[in-house]
Structure 1
Amino acid sequence: MSDPWAGILDSDEVILWQGRPNASLDIGPANWVGFVFGLCFAGFAMVWMLLAKQAGGLFWTFGLIHFSVGLSVALSSLFWASWRRRYSWYTLTDRRAFIATDLPLQGRKLSFYPITEDSDLKIEDGVPPSVIFKTEYRPRKKGSYPVPIGFERIAEAREVYRLMRQVQRDAQTSDAG
């Protein structure tokens, strides 16, 4: 039987923890903002289509794309995070944190993040909590916005956080020695 981590882990790298996020719905205020915006967008498109239909012809069908986009924004703001977590797996080694996803239509993706003495570790409260170990900045029209990266909604968050702190301490002593 072949090792699924062969070629991914360093020869002396050790897996400390593996787990999966809780995939239940977690709907907060930001989700509702996206949902309401999407519904308003879809509602405007629906009104436009009804008015265009009264003029006759098939011109009203051009509103279908806007209606679909509005519904997509509304539904994805409520369900996307839960859907993504359902197809995610987490692994912590004595050097790195791995996030694997296998999303339908997008395929498999494996991302890894070194845990160093400079990693900004924190626990985000929630039920269950999350362990954040990196912040990426994604561009937008004017500037960028922070996106926290970590093991989202895991029951063992406190233990994983403790393990990550130990990895940091080990990195400090190996750098000092």
Structure 2
Amino acid sequence: MTGNGWDDILEPGEELLWQGQPDPRPDWRAQTLRETLFGLAVTAFSLFWMAKALGIGADATFMGLVFPLMGLPFLVMGLNRAGGKIALGVWRRRHTWYSLTTRRAFIATDLLGRRTLDAYPIGPATPLDHEEGPPDHIWFATDFVKTAQGSKRRRIGFTHLPDSRAVYDQMRRLQREAL
């Protein structure tokens, strides 16, 4: 495996089996018409607010500059509700790569210059869950993330896969061979 970038990552005897990326197409399942319309209304209101505030504060005083900026949080919220979450998901998937070796599953991301490479062991005790969609997902780990109410469980895996059955079958074979 010389020169392929994996020399310092793979353990002795570990081999790369598969690499891929999630399908970057928009996933509209979580977006509702009601949420989109609400987001568009908030966006329109915030743009109206900022335009009017700019006209009122055209004297370039401190308040004339700050008052229009008070609409920015509402603009961001409105855009997010109108479909920003979907656009963010597309962007994240375009900057995510998956790899499967004879021992581990890797998820690599390059988001705003911050690169991460997370590895998850795949063994006989690894709980594998295959969700056939579309989109298809293979879940193989969990962790907990902090929330305002405490924490919640987050599933980790290869998401939005176009060839999930072949990858899932490879992972199950790895589990059987490790017994």
- TM-score tier, shorter chain, comes to 0.7 to 0.9
Deviation at 1:142, TM superposition (A): 1.0
What secondary structure, in the 3-state scheme, does the structure 2 residue paired with 1:2 have? coil
Give the SS at the match of 1:163. Answer: helix
Match of 1:89 among 86, 97, 119: 97
- Give me the identity figure in percent: 36
- Where does residue 23 of structure 2 map in the other structure? 22
Counterpart for residue 140 of structure 2: 133
1:143 maps to amino acid: G
Describe the SS at the equivalent of 2:161.
Answer: coil
Please tell me the root mean square deviation across aligned C-alpha atoms, in Å. 2.7
How far apart, CA to CA, are the structure 2 residues paired with 1:80 and 1:34?
A: 16
Residue from 114, 120, 133 that aligns with 1:113:
120
> In 1, are the aligned partners of 2:41 and 2:78 still within 8 Å (CA)?
no
Secondary structure of the corresponding residue to residue 160 of structure 2: coil
TM-score normalised over the length of structure 1: 0.79
Q: TM-score, normalised on structure 2?
A: 0.78
Map 1:63-82 to 2 at 5 A. 63-74=70-81, 75-82=83-90
1:97 touches 1:112 (CA, 8 Å); kept in 2?
yes
Question: Secondary structure in 2 aligned to 1:153?
Answer: strand
In structure 1, the residue matched to 2:61 is none
Q: Which runs of 5+ in 1 are unaligned?
A: none
Q: Report the counterpart of residue 100 of structure 1 in structure 2.
A: 108
Look up the match of 1:42. 43
Deviates more, 1:4-13 or 1:117-126: 117-126
Deviations 1:54-81 (A, max 9, x none): 8656253132322342245234312111
